[in-house]
Amino acid sequence: MKALGILETNFIFPHINGNLRITVEFVVMENLSRNHFILGNDYLIIYGIDLHNNKDIYFTIEDNNSQKFSFLPFKRQITVSKVAPVNLELERFKSEQLKEAEISLHLTDNRENELFALLYDHREAFASDKEPLGEIIGHEAYIILNIERTHPPLLRRPAYPESPKSREALEIHIKELLDLGVITNVGHNEEVEITTPVIVKWHNTKSRMVGEFRALNTYTVPDRYPIPKIQIALTQISQAVYIATMDSLKEFHQNVVAPRARKYLRIIVHYGVYEYLRMTFGIKNVPSHFQRMMNGIFPEELSEGWLIIYIDNIIVCSKTWEEHMYRLSKVLTKIQSYNMKVSLKKFHFVFKEPKALGHVVSGLSLGINKNKVAAVLLKPIPQTKK
């Protein structure tokens, strides 16, 4: 049955203490008989009405079944407003994925709907349960060593000993990376010249796996590509009225490692050797590679001065709403075309005072994000010169 619209009408119910006058909103359904109507249970409970829909349609009041009331005719010119079609996929996207994003509460309904529609149209740019990780097209990562074979023993190290708790955590991390396609097993018949041990770092009850790549970094030819200065970027942001910030999800894991470089990215644990298929944290030159890649993807936008990229941080700045929607669409379109994924958890839309690059930014000032320096602020004030 199809909904045609919504109308508001009045009903008069006879009552022993006087007539009841009720104003009710109805949803008009296609092909529904004009002799029937739908009344919510809340109305029935409030007014003590019991409907009877046998051969004759009547109602009783307050358990008095002996006195039957018929509905009084009510004539009124009724205009049925057309119901806007509902996009169920858009509604699902809003309820399931967009709940992770942080969106300004000061948007009008029209602007909020416009933003939701834009984000839905570019939903392939966002990580999801089905596609948690992107695979950036055309930007393979390379590692070049400044030594020839045979490699020194420092580059071939055994696994570190771990506590039972850390071993269990390590096995979980390895399985997650295998499931994501970030690493793969190294076969027993493959030549293994370089192995890097890993350690498990704990923060409260959470753990993370970290490769001990310092030896590999020592022999890696450095990439001198410049990283932008944060202060210059913050000055650009402070001049904007509308700002959207986003982060590339697991940024370095979205970079495919060139096949010939994978042999350098082999990690060893207590039960095997694994090889990185995607770039990982802790590798020399990775920030430079990522910055060069992002600058190459967005050269026009960067030259126009309204887009700021600091490694994996993407910031869109605008002075008008229309300009902001156009620019946001343009950036998300490029992200999609390169098969990159951004995180909705770190997506902040149209904030006039966003938290970006460790600072709180507004059109009037720049301030430090206190959450980033809480540990320093909570330190006791020194009482002696030492």
Cα angle vertex 310, ends 296, 250, to 5°?
90
Position 72 scores a pLDDT of 58
Question: How far is residue 312's CA from residue 136's CA, in Å, rounded to a whole number?
Answer: 13
Domain-located, residue 18: yes
What's the pLDDT score for residue 60? 75
Pair 322, 195 in one domain: yes
What is the number of alpha carbons within 13 Å of residue 351 lying toward its C-beta? 19
| 54 and 185 share one domain | no
Last residue of a domain, one of 27, 50, 81: 81
Specify if 94 maps to a domain: no
The predicted structure's pLDDT at residue 353: 56
What tokens appear for 26 in the block? 């109805």
Say how many residues make up the chain.
Answer: 386
Residues of the chain with pLDDT under 70: 1-3, 11-22, 26, 31-55, 58-59, 69-84, 350-379, 381, 385-386
How do residues 321-380 score in pLDDT, each as one tens digit? 999 999 999 999 999 999 999 988 888 886 655 555 454 555 434 444 555 544 555 567
61/167 same-domain check: no
Q: Does residue 266 sit within a domain?
A: yes
Give yes or no for a contact between 281 and 252, defined as CB atoms under 8 angstroms apart.
Answer: yes
Q: Residue 93 falls within a domain, yes or no?
A: no
Q: Are 360 and 353 in contact (CB under 8 A)?
A: yes
CB 366 within 8 Å of CB 243:
no
Q: How far apart are CA 328 and CA 316, in angstroms?
A: 7
pTM: 0.69
**Is 136 a member of any domain?**
no
Q: Which residues contact residue 65 at a Cβ distance below 8 angstroms, ignoring those fewer than 6 apart?
A: 50
What is the distance between the alpha carbons of residues 92 and 97, in angstroms, rounded to a whole number? 8
Contact 355, 234 (CB under 8 A): no
Residue 161 burial class via C-beta count within 10 angstroms: exposed 0-12, middle 13-18, buried 19 and up: exposed
Question: Do 73 and 165 reside in the same domain of the chain?
Answer: no
- Positive/negative CA dihedral, 55, 61, 62, 64: negative
Same domain, 160 and 73: no
* Domain closes at, from 81, 116, 131: 81
Shared domain for 77 and 158, answered yes or no, is: no
- DSSP letter assigned to residue 145: B
What pLDDT score does 363 carry?
44
Do 161 and 52 have their domain in common? no
- Same domain assignment for residues 66 and 159: no
Let me know if residue 73 belongs to a domain. Answer: yes
pLDDT at 231: 78
Within 10 A of 300 (CB to CB), how many other CB atoms are there? Answer: 9
Kindly state whether residue 33 falls inside one of the protein's structural domains.
yes
What span, in angstroms and rounded, lies between the C-alpha atoms of 191 and 129? 36
- What is the pLDDT at residue 365? 42
Asked if residue 129 is part of any domain, the answer here is no
Q: Are residues 179 and 320 in the same domain?
A: yes
Under DSSP, is residue 150 helix (H, G, I), strand (E, B) or coil?
A: coil
Domain extent at residue 49: 3-81
Q: Same domain for 177 and 313?
A: yes
- CATH number (domain holding residue 254): 3.30.70.270
Number of Cβ atoms within 10 Å of the Cβ of 27: 13
Does residue 196 have a cis peptide bond before it, meaning omega lies within 30 degrees of 0?
no
Domain total for the chain? 2
pLDDT digit string (tens) for 31-56? 666 555 556 666 666 666 666 666 67
Same domain, 72 and 179: no
Q: Are residues 328 and 222 in the same domain?
A: yes
Residue where one domain finishes, among candidates 81, 99, 126: 81
